[in-house]
Amino acid sequence: MAAIALTGLTKDYPGGVRALDGLELDVADGEFFALLGPSGCGKTTILRTIAGLEEATAGTVVIGGDDVTRLPPGRRDVAMVFQDYALFPHMTVTDNVAYPLRIRKVPTAERRGRAAETAGQLGLTKQLDRRPGQLSGGQQQRVALARAMACHPRVFLFDEPLSNLDARMRLEARTFLKRLQRELAVTTVFVTHDQAEALALADRIAVLSDGRVRQVGTPTEVFRRPANTFVASFIGSTPMNLLPGTVTAGARVLVGDAALPAPVGEIAPGTPVVYGIRPEYLRLTPTAGEDTVTGEITVVENLGSTQLLTLEGPAGTVQVVVPEDSEAAPGAPLHVVPRADRALLYRPDGDGELLTNCPTPGGAAPGA
């Protein structure tokens, strides 16, 4: 059991590419922690630096109070599950799972017993004598997990653990992984580019871009209150609508021709802002009003139980999630009302930070 602390972590690759830039990150003991970001944001580099496969250019990696920055990977007491699982194709499941123990010179009989036991916990008893090539994707993933568990590490590191599974298996494996992590209570860091996976699995999420942490928080915090426009557009199955507007009197924001209620707080009227509202928090209304966004439907996407409509209007392009039974057709005009207590205001320049005097959504919103 161990907490992880990354301090001032910098990683320069030969050729002048800076993958990480003075990164600060703390992972609590026993936490299920997600590193989330688009490809090339440095999330895998962080994981590999914790594992010791990459050496940090500057900064320290501390695991369970021990500075491991300069230790080779094998002496950090971590286990890593690779994206392709990296199961050794010429070994049986038992030998794969027992491999870490073989390196630690555990006698053959004992390590076989322990491997069988661990594999049994993950429901692999029938597959013990098979080779990885004879297993399904889900079974291979469980073998990789069993191998990581077999050496009882202080930290698990998962690199895109679910990305090699098909869509249905992925949901199953997600639930399985979460339960397993709860039971083992081993500090776990995993990398993903899938925001839904991060929201579903993690206790806390670090959203990254360009080697920097853009926000760290629980899934609820990151979803409800993205700290900047990058996080706002990255998190959520459909990206948040980010509409340029101006604060006007009466705690409203003028977006196009609509004056929308918003948590304006202390912001002076006339200040340009970005008005953020998720497509799920826009509601259809039959009549146009002062606080409705109006537009013409250009695209209808069926999402099963809901529909995603794209509107073009004076406010710009707005996406709305509506119930499945709404009779929306391209070309028809549409009026939608935002839920005022879910609206967020961002700075239009710089990193697009959340304007600090916004109250926490979900509480009493003054603009509502």
Partner 1 sequence: MSPRELLGRVGRYTLLSLVLAFFALPLLWLATAPFDRTPEIAASWPEFTLDNVRELLDNENALRSLRNSVLLAGGTCALVVTLSALAAYALSRVRLPGRDGLLYALLLLSSIVTGTAAMVPLFNLAYELDLIDSRLGVILVLTGGLLPSAIFILKDFTDATPVSYEESARVFGASPLQIVRHLVVPLIRPGLATIGVWSVAQVWGNFLIPFLLLRSPEKSPAAVVMYTFYTEGGQPDLALISTFSLLYSLPVVLMFLFVSSRYGFRFHGGIKR
Binding site for partner 1 (CB under 8 A): 51-53, 72-76, 78-80, 82-84, 86, 88-90, 99-100, 102-104, 132-133, 151
Q: How far is the CB of 125 from partner 1 (least distance, A)?
A: 22
Any idea how long the chain is?
A: 368
Beta-bridged to residue 316, according to DSSP, are 313
Q: How far is the CB of 82 from partner 1 (least distance, A)?
A: 5
Q: Taking the CB of residue 245, how many other CB atoms lie within 10 A of it?
A: 24
- The residue among 71 and 184 lying less far from partner 1, judged by its C-beta, is 71
Q: How far is the CB of 132 from partner 1 (least distance, A)?
A: 6
Q: Is 102 exposed, middle or buried (0-12, 13-18, 19+ CB in 10 A)?
A: middle
Query: How far apart are the C-alpha atoms of 242 and 273, rounded to whole Å?
Result: 10
Residue found under tokens 């999330």: 43
The bridge status of strand 344-346 relative to strand 4-13 is: unpaired
Query: How far apart are the C-alpha atoms of 197 and 67, rounded to whole Å?
Result: 31
Q: Which of helix, strand or coil describes residue 355?
A: coil
Rounded to the nearest angstrom, the gap between the alpha carbon of residue 5 and the centroid of all alpha carbons in its chain is 19
Q: How far is the CB of 133 from partner 1 (least distance, A)?
A: 4
- The residue among 141 and 241 lying less far from partner 1, judged by its C-beta, is 141
Residues 6 or more apart whose CB falls under 8 angstroms from that of 147 comprise 79, 87, 96, 97, 99, 100
Residue found under tokens 């907490």: 3
Query: How far apart are the C-alpha atoms of 44 and 235, rounded to whole Å?
Result: 19
- The residue among 54 and 280 lying less far from partner 1, judged by its C-beta, is 54
Q: Which helix (H) or strand (E) holds 138?
A: helix 137-150
DSSP states of 73-87? GGGS-EEEE-TTTT-
The bridge status of strand 282-284 relative to strand 333-338 is: antiparallel
Q: How far is the CB of 301 from partner 1 (least distance, A)?
A: 37
- The residue among 132 and 219 lying less far from partner 1, judged by its C-beta, is 132
Q: How far is the CB of 37 from partner 1 (least distance, A)?
A: 21
Q: Among 66, 51, 80, which residue's Cα sits nearest to residue 5?
A: 66
- The residue among 53 and 62 lying less far from partner 1, judged by its C-beta, is 53
Q: How far is the CB of 69 from partner 1 (least distance, A)?
A: 16
- The residue among 148 and 180 lying less far from partner 1, judged by its C-beta, is 148
- The residue among 84 and 290 lying less far from partner 1, judged by its C-beta, is 84
Q: Among 74, 80, 143, 136, which residue's Cα sits nearest to residue 105?
A: 74
- The residue among 15 and 286 lying less far from partner 1, judged by its C-beta, is 15
- The residue among 188 and 294 lying less far from partner 1, judged by its C-beta, is 188
CB 227 within 8 A of CB 350: no
What are the phi and psi torsion angles at 175 (to 5°)?
-60, -45
